[in-house]
Structure 1
């Protein structure tokens, strides 16, 4: 969706559209500007998401890989979701720096191109991984025998590969344009407002295929799993555990959809519909900025899904922590302590 910002005469209000679909007036002579708001809001929120998301997803990846030989198809989808989140959060310090400098990019053209690309690849890969996870959980509970032939590790990796390829290919248009010098500053994350019709079309495609379709599938899974639970009065222990994990998976996924993705897609679409050069919609501008941050915050909530609904994730986590603790304990003898000091020197 990104396009280079077109230069306008000094007397003309020069709106800019960020990769989140936010238009903001950058005219120093006008009152319609949210540059100060973005400078205060984005760096703080992005750095919080960076710390929490990087630690949570990085450690989750480590736990998943510790017992990969005993992995399941569910954990394969969760591992890919964690990788997507980890790659996205690694770009946030660059975004924070850009807004701290008053929208001045210093990291080069290639890095600028990657910023928006990583945002949308993470957003829509997360949406589809969460949806597939919920469908697999639902089928494993309601139609376990039908799932046997598609629940293998190889099938899970194949489906993950298809999701990665399709989303990365669909978002490749974001790599077409990068940074642009304007005066003493280098702009990044800016779009060409003269292509508003094309942006609206792209938004509708992303809205329907990237959000509404997965959201409808997720909602249907939720309703069907509730119906299945109501039919089973006193399920067996194994079936009860399966139902519980399926319900937890779908509920957490729905919360992430409703909290992180739904507000952003609604406001982005509304903004593109009502936006006009001569009209200042400062409150709407700020609202879209906030919802973009919420969309990025999905990378902080996904580790909760791994902990509460992952296959044996709690046991793997305890085992990993126990091993680390034992290694520290074993190395507490005087010889090990001396070796540590020598190594540090």
Structure 2
């Protein structure tokens, strides 16, 4: 199969409706900006986790899931300079066949591992509010390691077809990250399965969890004062996770379905007389791919709002959080208990 099963860096199968200029303008700038922001946010977050391990000697289940989410983001971020260089050199891949396969593999590993770790975090947040004792048990158990391993194994196995084929020679260029005419029928069928298992199902679970979370947070409470910001903070976490799905993942999967359907029709010359529709889909695929890649920049917001450990790390470093922000930091910090760590 082609190294980009679902046209992740969309190239038309006929070559008659090329948007190479558009891709050369959009992809490198987006990839390099995402690389810079994602690497900075990821480095700070990683330092906070290392500091947490040194001080406490262990990670709670929630922190372990967040650490795995961070590792997934850093994998994608480190692959972006290769993607940018490919388009800056006129869609000519110079990094070798193995690297081409790995770069495509890493993209899907990041996307679907991120989706599943966000789902697991949402389930944990749901348990913290509806079944707090069960949540405390899970926080201290080793089952979280099994969950992390299961996510990585399942996502990796599902993405292994991307390692089956690499770069190809095309008119004097070495192509990578493009969708070819070959195997379009099979790719379209696989796409429907991946969209359901990799996006629709996790998003349904997340939506179910957050309906109960928001319902609980909106209930009138007699407690006032210091505890109220914790509930506002929980709402902020809900907004961040849903924003990541609606901004990064939903547009990409919707356009991918339309794009592959159009590619399948192109093989049957449905659009032989006009490129207007297919060009629009190609450009939409470029934009939504950039949004999907941007999830590696938005995920650090979860570490920021997840609160106490990140702020304690920043407070120790001093330079990262100005003293003038002490009042704001106190407002958003959570009580120092395992249960409040996720509910807040």
TM-score range, shorter chain: 0.7 to 0.9
Structure 2 residue matching 1:299: 3-state secondary structure: helix
CA distance in 2, matches of 1:238, 1:299: 32
Aligned pairs for 1:217-296 within 5 A: 217-235=205-223, 243-275=231-263, 276-277=265-266, 278=269, 279=271, 280=275, 281-296=278-293
Q: List per-residue Cα deviations over 1:172-196 (Å, max 9, x = no partner).
A: 1100101122342111113332322
Matched, 1:303 2:297: no
CA distance in 1, matches of 2:320, 2:185: 57
Please state how far the C-alpha of 1:158 moved relative to its aligned partner.
Answer: 2.0
Q: List per-residue Cα deviations over 1:274-304 (Å, max 9, x = no partner).
A: 3322323101110011000100000001111
**CA gap 1:124/1:196 in 2 versus in 1, 3 angstroms:** same
Aligned pairs for 1:133-152 within 5 A: 133-152=121-140
> Aligned to 1:176, which of 164, 178, 184?
164
The residue that corresponds to 2:332 in the other structure is none
Please state how far the C-alpha of 1:75 moved relative to its aligned partner.
Answer: 1.3
Matched, 1:42 2:27: yes
**CA gap 1:217/1:240 in 2 versus in 1, 3 angstroms:** farther
Structure 1 range deviating more: 41-50 or 67-76: 67-76
Q: List per-residue Cα deviations over 1:294-340 (Å, max 9, x = no partner).
A: 00000001111110124422122221346999xxxxxxxxxxxxxxx
CA distance in 1, matches of 2:173, 2:203: 40
Structure 1 range deviating more: 240-249 or 64-73: 240-249
CA distance in 2, matches of 1:242, 1:121: 33
CA distance in 2, matches of 1:131, 1:99: 33
**CA gap 1:251/1:81 in 2 versus in 1, 3 angstroms:** same
Q: Which has the larger radius of gyration?
A: 1
Please state how far the C-alpha of 1:154 moved relative to its aligned partner.
Answer: 2.3
Q: List per-residue Cα deviations over 1:126-154 (Å, max 9, x = no partner).
A: 11111111111121122101223322262
The residue that corresponds to 2:2 in the other structure is 3
Unpaired runs of at least 5, structure 1 = 5-15, 326-345
**CA gap 1:129/1:174 in 2 versus in 1, 3 angstroms:** same
Alignment check: 8 A CA contact 2:5 2:162 kept: no
CA distance in 2, matches of 1:245, 1:154: 27
Aligned pairs for 1:187-206 within 5 A: 187-206=175-194
Q: Aligned residue pairs: how many?
A: 310
Please state how far the C-alpha of 1:242 moved relative to its aligned partner.
Answer: 5.7
> Aligned to 1:110, which of 98, 118, 130?
98
Q: List per-residue Cα deviations over 1:226-275 (Å, max 9, x = no partner).
A: 21123342247797566444433222110000000000000101122233
**CA gap 1:323/1:153 in 2 versus in 1, 3 angstroms:** farther
**CA RMSD for the aligned pairs?**
2.4
Structure 2 residue matching 1:181: 3-state secondary structure: strand
TM-score (norm 1): 0.83
Alignment check: 8 A CA contact 1:134 1:246 kept: no
